[in-house]
Structure 1
Amino acid sequence: MRHVPFFRWVLTAGVTLFACSVGLYAIEPDGGLPASRQIDLAVVHEEADGSCRVRWSDPYAKKTREGPYHCDAGRSDSLKAPNYGDIRGYGWESGFMLTEGPDRGDLYDVAADTEDDLSTADALLLLGVLLIMTGLVGGNLRALPRVLGVEARLVRRAIRLAEAAGWASEDYARAVDAVRDGGRRGDLGAEPDPELVRALWVLREAGPQARAAAATARELADRLRPLLEKAAPAAGLGNRLQAGPAARADAAAAVAELRRLLADAEQHGQRERFVQTSVDLLRGQDGDRAALAAGADFEQDPEAYRRLLEDLAPLEPAARPKPPRHRRWRR
């Protein structure tokens, strides 16, 4: 199923409406308010909620007028009657009078107009903000399952296990090939071939458990590699967000299988066994020292070497190892 960026388009529409509202505010004179100027008002009567009757001087009609107005109920008590020092006993308020149009001279109640009327710019602004919030929240909620599916630590553990298994399998195959190559060049007769003796000594030192560990490692590595490929979207947040629904579903199934294999491997200490097997099989890299140890061991028990060679001879050729990797083992 193809991903449809619905919330991205919602966010885009919200940003567009927000920009339009800003443009309208910029081109409307005085923010869309009618032309007016501030004047003083004499408060004749005032209620606790701010409803009042006021008087003001109308320069256009050249007379004093009186009418209802919405006063600021929270202004200082010193501006209200009878505290305000007006000889008539009136309070004081500030207001706006229209200066243009047929209604000039009338009072313009800013508070009432703001509550009752919603300009186009205001409507676009509110709708734009609503769409922006919807796009941001909805987009993040939609991405949340993809973010929660990241299992980077588990994938890294599986990669380390697969590497250890691959190294153990390759090192054992390389050791067996060394024995077979030595057997083609010489034998274990009166003057045994030193290279063959050393190759056999490496396998004797690793012990029979190395063969079992290598077989387990080969099987486990073959199982882990395809699972790691499918689990790639779960290896990092970037990969997870870029993957499609099908890839994320495959990754979730692969991660579940990796978790099971890791639990089983940790329970049996398989990674440590694989690492130790590789260490044991790499002992023959020190040629002089290994040759001396192999020669001495062969003189003590040559029949064991012949039995090991006969045991390896009928086997199918070992899988050709990959090019050796530069590794530094620490015991």
Structure 2
Amino acid sequence: MRHVPFFRWVLTLGFVLFACSVGLYAAGSDLPEARQIDLTVLDEKPDGSCRVRWIDPYQKRAREASYQCDPGRSALLKAPQYSDSRGYGWESGFMLTEGPDRGNLEDLTAESDLGYADVFLLLGVLLVALGLIGGNLRALPRVLGVEARLIRRATRLSEAAEWAAEDYEQAVVAVREAGRHGVLSQASDAGPDARLVTALWLLREAGPRARETAALGRKLTSQLHGLLDDAAPAAGVRSMLHAGPRARGHAAQAVAELRLLLTDAELNGLPERFAQTSVDLLRGQDGDLAALAAATDFAQDPSPYRQLLVQLTLPEPAVVPARTTCPHRGRRRRRRPRLPFGTSRRGR
């Protein structure tokens, strides 16, 4: 089921109504023009009801009418404090300057009805607020499911395991290739024998657990690849927002499995073990020093080299991964190119 952006459409409709309201306000209303004039307050009550007098320039005479004055204005503008010898007060108002009612006072209390611009403005503001609040509340559970730091840790662990396994495989391939053209003897100082001794010395330096570490690396890499593909939507806020409910469900399950795998791997010291194995297997990058050290060590004790060569000629036990490739996985992971033995890897 794909995500339906309901609140996004609500927000869009709110902005459209808001724009219509602004357009109506910009186009102007049907109210006639008016200008502000001075009013003489003849009589005033405490609630602001008063009777005022003004000069009508169109009828060229003084006129009187009822008006709603501002009861909160300063007491100095009211009678008898206002500086008028006749004891009147002062107020200001608006007189219509066009239409059949020009010369009359504008009745501000009668303008209580809402126009189209006001209705569009209120509806637009309500829809914009609903779209923003509802959209954020709807996106909150998806944003809370983001586990970017966990995904990065799992990716680093997968890369370290893959590098350790590939480095060991390259070292074994180097031994087997060199073993086709040379044999181990007491005088292995040049030619194919030197290459074979150097390759075996490299594996001896990596330690007896290198083979087990490489097998663990292959197994863990197979597990992490599938889980990382499933947990891809949880790697960031943007990817989580664009993922559907089914993809988010798979991502939540994959994140839970990744957390268990990472906890177990860190408790067993697998990240450090993979890194140390890769470092030990990369000692053969300096070919001259490695060949000299290998020849010296082989001359002192050649028996472990022969035993190791016999072990490497035996087929390795197959490692069955604990988790197969997920059927709904859609991405292909980038594999690191295999380098020949003795060459350096940049960027490690």
Range class of TM-score, shorter chain:
0.7 to 0.9
Q: Which residue of 1 aligns with 2:115?
A: 119
- CA offsets 1:52-111 (integer angstroms, 9 cap, x no match): 3333445549563232x221223222111111123332211111234555555543222x
Tell whether the 8 Å contact from 2:206 to 2:277 is kept in structure 1 after alignment. yes
CA RMSD across the alignment: 2.6
- 5 Å-filtered alignment, 1:35-114, equals 35-58=33-56, 60=59, 62=61, 64-67=63-66, 69-101=67-99, 103-110=101-108, 112-114=109-111
Partners of 1:125 and 1:180 in 2: CA distance: 80
Q: Alpha-carbon deviations, 1:213-259, whole Å to 9, x = none?
A: 11211111111111122222222333233333322222222222222
Contact 2:161 2:217 in 1 (8 A): yes
After superposition, the Cα gap between the structure-2 partners of 1:71 and 1:293, relative to the gap in structure 1 and judged at 3 Å, is same
Mapped partners of 1:46, 1:138: distance in 2: 52
Look up the SS of the partner of 1:273 in the other structure: helix
Kept after mapping to 2: 8 A contact 1:170/1:322: no
Cα distance in structure 1, aligned partners of 2:143 and 2:200: 52
Within 5 A, what are the aligned runs for 1:267-282? Answer: 267-282=267-282
State the distance in 1 between where 2:228 and 2:127 align: 40
Q: By percentage of residues, which structure has more helix?
A: 1
Q: Quick check: 2:166–2:338 contact (8 Å CA) kept in 1?
A: no
Describe the SS at the equivalent of 1:108. coil
- Matched-pair identity in %: 64
Tell me the CA shift for residue 327 of structure 1.
Answer: 3.3
Mapped contact 2:97–2:103 kept (Cα < 8 A): yes
Does the CA-based 8 Å contact 1:234-1:240 persist in structure 2?
A: yes
Cα distance in 1, alignment partners of residues 253 and 288 from structure 2: 50
> Which whole-Å CA distance do the structure 2 matches of 1:224 and 1:317 have between them?
21
Cα distance in 2 between the residues matched to 1:122 and 1:87: 45
Structure 2 counterpart of 1:278, which letter? S
Which letter does structure 2 place at the counterpart of 1:291? A
| Structure 1: gaps spanning 5 or more residues | none
Ranges in structure 2 where 5+ consecutive residues have no aligned partner: 320-335
2:246 aligned with 1:246: yes
Give me the whole-angstrom Cα distance separating, in 2, the residues matched to 1:160 and 1:54. 85
| Residue 327, structure 1, aligned to residue 346, structure 2 | yes
> Structure 1 residues 316 and 184 mapped into 2: Cα distance closer, same or farther (>3 Å)?
farther
Pick closer, same or farther for the CA change 1:79–1:178 going to 2, 3 Å: same
* Number of residue equivalences: 323
**Residue in structure 1 matched with residue 132 of structure 2 by the alignment:** 136
Q: Per-residue displacement from partner, 1:3-42 (whole Å, max 9, x unpaired)?
A: 22212221221222122222222233xx443343433322
1:208 match: secondary structure = coil
TM-score, normalization: structure 2? 0.83
Preserved contact between residue 265 and residue 271 of structure 1 (Cα < 8 Å): yes
Structure 1 window deviating more from structure 2 (237-246 vs 213-222): it is 237-246
Matching residue of 1:208:
208
In structure 1, the partner of 2:195 is 195
In 2 relative to 1, CA 27–286 (structure 1 residues): closer, same or farther, beyond 3 Å? closer
